[in-house]
Every structure is written in C-alpha cells, then in structure tokens.
Chain A
Amino acid sequence: NSKVIQTPRYLVKGQGQKAKMRCIPEKGHPVVFWYQQNKNNEFKFLINFQNQEVLQQIDMTEKRFSAECPSNSPCSLEIQSSEAGDSALYLCASSLRRTNYAEQFFGPGTRLTVL
C-alpha cells in the first residue's frame, strides 16, 4: 500500500534529550506531512513541506521542533528537548500535490517514548 519509509521504528529518550526521526516519502511525492498520534488515537498535524519549503506548521512545532526536507536526503523531525508529553507515534505522510487535495500515504511511524 504505502511506500513511505520511517526510521527508527522505536525511539527512547530521557527528558531534555533531543529526539530525531526520519522519513523518506514515496518517490515523486513533493509534499510531506508530519502528524503526532497519541495513545487516545488523537492525531495532531505538526508541519508540512513542499520540496524543501515549509507550507504550514503549528505553534508547538515552531517553538520546540526542528524539521527539514533537504533535497536528495530524508526529511527529518527533531524535538529539541523532549518532554514526557511528547511520547507518541509520529507519522510521516506524503502526497502528490498541495494546491488541490491529493491522497496522503502514511509510513509506519516512529514510536517515541520519553522517560
């Protein structure tokens, strides 16, 4: 179904540590989204890119996260200083275009546990 690759699958960090995860979108998909899914199955949009440009991000992402999608390299999402409340499944999705809605395809996620 989806060819989005996310690494690592599991990540364990202590509070205050940096946590970095990566995503390779489906080939030919210029738009990448990051979402956070908590244990209550609630999804939160974090940030999205078209190629290397940030399209949208929420306040939390702007303040505490660092994200990029360099050309010819995996996209990455990094929490600068992990907090217990950051423990969640981080999902990367990619799609074909931004201006009109296009189906999003999700990777398996990186499950972050902050001790």
Chain B
Amino acid sequence: GDQVEQSPSALSLHEGTGSALRCNFTTTMRAVQWFRKNSRGSLINLFYLASGTKENGRLKSAFDSKERYSTLHIRDAQLEDSGTYFCAAERGGRALIFGTGTTVSVSP
C-alpha cells in the first residue's frame, strides 16, 4: 500500500543550529501536512501544502509531488522546538497516511 517514509527517526540539535526532516512517498500524493505533538500529546498543525514551500517563523516546509517528497527545515533551533514531528500525506479526498515521526531534542 501507499507508504510514507520519514527520516530521521531521532534528531539532536544544539540551540541555534538547524536541520531538516524528510518524508518520502511511495506514490504521488496531492498534499502533505506537518504536525508537532505538544506536551499534552495533541497534534499541532504546522503546515499544509499542496505544492511549493511555506515558511512560518523558524520553520520552513517544501512539498514536491512529482519527486514524491516533503521536507521540514528547522533553523535557529530553540528548546521549545523539542518534540515529535509527523508528516502525513494524502492522495485526494482520503485519509492521511502518516510517517512514523521524528523525535527532535534541542539542548542548550
């Protein structure tokens, strides 16, 4: 079936540095969402993209449907960026297919 491969599974960052998370799709997806699980366990919407790139503060996401991938870049990481990030993609009017998450740990 359709799959979403998310990497890395864990990421350690020092404050002020940056890195990228990536999701590869086994088939063409129409849109992607990125979430962060907050301290209460709720999924917080970070981005929704049907194409191109979006930026919000220190986070930037890109989605290339043709090349079958999406990325989430974190720059100038802060302690509050720690958490588990999920990408989820959708083929059109259907349920989201989730990646297995990236646990980001930001240290001083």
> Complex Cα distance A106/B94, Å?
15
How many of chain B's residues have a CB under 8 angstroms from any CB in A? 25
B40 touches A108 (CB 8 A): yes
> Complex Cα distance A38/B61, Å?
26
Of the residues A89, A100, A104, contact of B41 by C-beta under 8 Å:
A89
Chain B CB within 8 A of A18 CB:
no
Chain B CB within 8 A of A25 CB:
no
Total A-B pairs, Cβ < 8 A? 58
> Complex Cα distance A33/B96, Å?
9
Chain A CB within 8 A of B56 CB:
no
| List of 6 A-B pairs having minimum Cβ-Cβ separation, nearest first | A45-B95, A43-B98, A103-B48, A106-B43, A101-B31, A108-B42
